[in-house]
Amino acid sequence: MNPPSSLLVLTPGDDVAVARGDIAEGQQLNADGIALVARQPIPSGHKIALRRALAGQRVLKYGQTIGQATQDIEPGDHVHVHNLDMPTTNAEQSVQNVYIPTVLSGEPATFEGFVRDDGRVGTRNYIGVVSSVNCSATVCKHIANAFSAERLKDFPNVDGVVAITHGSGCGMGATGEGIDILKRTLRGYADHPNFAGVLLIGLGCEVNQLIPLMDELGDRPAPLKASLIIQDAGGTREAVQRGIAHIEQMLPIINDLQRTVVAASHLSVGLQCGGSDGYSGITANPALGAAVDLLVRNGGTAILSETPEIYGAEHLLTARAASADISAKLMTRIRWWEAYVRHNDGDMNNNPSPGNKAGGITTILEKSLGAVAKAGASGLMGVYQYAETVDTQGLVFMDTPGYDPVSATGQVAGGANLICFTTGRGSTYGCKPTPSLKIATNTRLFQRMELDMDFNAGGIVDGLESVAEAGERLFQLMLDTASGRRTCSEENGLGDNEFVPWQIGAVM
């Protein structure tokens, strides 16, 4: 096999190429027959100009506009924040619908999961201790912390006891979007198939009352659904003692549950990217997209989110929406975000983050084009509000912020029983009760943080495998993880502090 070129040209006609590794000033280069000399040092993952661009001219990558030159750019120049910015006008993209229904596999893939009484399937077997309000958070944590690994050693089929706590639930309006989001999120976690049993705990006087929340939960066998109100229990110590007793009743019942072979159609995967770099849209995100297409062909569900991070690339999703109504729903959420940002004196291009820029991403358009690659090529089958129950199979979109813990919290509340998280700068994200796979965009990151990374997509840029081959490997890892294979974040004990519901509205 010939060594890979120093430059990657992603789409014919692109104005820039991506450096596979660090390039020195004066280095002679060739990109698809275009001879270049680097006019400045080009860091790995960053862009180099293939042709001249005058100030004000749009610059293409992925065959799409990623920004507008702020000064004349010459071939061989480093293209980044010093000479590229968002276009001064954001012209609407013309969209031609190219939706093609997915043909399901004749022999669906399988995994081993925990089948619940309502037919849903868990990939893990946790007990959740859920607070209705921040005032009950400490009691929840004391109860969960009482069940150490040593105390659970006689219950090997129980993955753990998890405290789901947050900083809200009171000091907010009793009606409106803020309380509605919190209730949806808590209900989604309390009903999650990865929780075999749940204990909900309130203080008693909070806005987010416990009894209405309990009434909205699905049925569970007694005693696998219980509740406590601290004021009625007699105080903190009494509530902790009662909570521990409730969990002790659940343990032998949950420990008797066994994994069984089920179809991959029971797998619902939340798609996340965080700490992105210049390789994210070239390696990890397209590889995840290839795995998503395999998942969808096997009847499963993939949840794309992070609305601010598809901004400028939404036309790639609406073009493959299964109906005009789905396309319209997505655009409604985009317009909501534009208004929300204006109201808060913000800018949709406040993303990319400093770390993204250090990794080679210049504008939100460039970041979004790479982020959408996580969705593969499958048709868009639905659009959901934050933390809504996802009841459609195939590729769907959930409206969430771009902040990873908040976004993933919404996906898990919607039913995701696996998270796939791509990263180029490095992430240590973990999630309970849903396992999180970390996918490295480059081999250097994978080797540097090998105890945090579950999958290396860097072989794509290294010229060792194709996107399709990496996608097949990743899909198999998804099935193995759903069957009980522990992720790096699980081995590292992460995931107890990543429940972060989206907070909207006044705190009073």
pLDDT value of position 141:
98
Q: Is the pLDDT of residue 26 over 50?
A: yes
Q: What is the pLDDT of residues 99-128, one digit of tens each?
A: 999 999 999 999 999 999 999 999 999 999
Which of 508, 502, 506 lies closest to 186 in space, CA to CA? 502
**Distance between CA 85 and CA 277 in Å, rounded?**
17
pLDDT value of position 352:
83
Assign 327 to helix, strand or coil. helix
DSSP structure class, residue 307: G
Assign 7 to helix, strand or coil. strand
Quote the pTM value: 0.94
407 close to 306: Cβ distance less than 8 angstroms: yes
Q: What is the pLDDT of residues 389-444, one digit of tens each?
A: 999 999 999 999 999 999 999 999 999 999 999 999 999 999 999 999 999 999 99
Query: Maximum CA pair distance of the chain?
Result: 78
- As to burial, measured by CB atoms within 10 angstroms (0-12 exposed, 13-18 middle, 19+ buried), residue 58 is middle
Amino acid at 371: A
365 close to 66: Cβ distance less than 8 angstroms: yes
Which of 203, 258, 266 lies closest to 236 in space, CA to CA? 203
Query: How many beta carbons lie within 10 A of that of residue 14, not counting itself?
Result: 22
pLDDT value of position 410:
98
Residue for token pair 């790096």: 488
Sequence-separated (6 or more) residues with CB below 8 Å from residue 388: 184, 398, 414
Q: What is the pLDDT of residues 274-320, one digit of tens each?
A: 999 999 999 999 999 999 999 999 999 999 999 999 999 999 999 99
Query: How many beta carbons lie within 10 A of that of residue 211, not counting itself?
Result: 11
Q: Where are the alpha helices (DSSP H) in 206-318?
A: 210-216, 230-233, 236-255, 284-297, 315-318
437 close to 495: Cβ distance less than 8 angstroms: no
pLDDT band at 1 (very low <50, low <70, confident <90, very high): very low
Residue 435, preceding peptide bond in cis (omega within 30° of 0): no
Token pair belonging to 391: 């009841």
Sheet with 58-61, strands from edge to edge, namely: 58-61, 64-69, 84-85
pLDDT value of position 93:
60
Tell me what the mean pLDDT of segment 226-235 comes to: 98
- The CA-based angle 444-446-450, given to 5 degrees, is 125
pLDDT band at 90 (very low <50, low <70, confident <90, very high): low
Tell me what the mean pLDDT of segment 346-373 comes to: 88
Helices 236-255 and 137-145, packing angle to 10 deg:
50
**Distance between CA 349 and CA 67 in Å, rounded?**
11
pLDDT value of position 94:
62
90 compared with 67, residue with greater pLDDT: 67
Token pair belonging to 366: 């460039």
Assign 499 to helix, strand or coil. coil
- State the pairing for strand pair 268-273/225-229: unpaired
Tell me what the mean pLDDT of segment 249-254 comes to: 98
Residue-averaged pLDDT of the chain: 95
- Provide the percentage of residues in the chain whose pLDDT is more than 70: 97
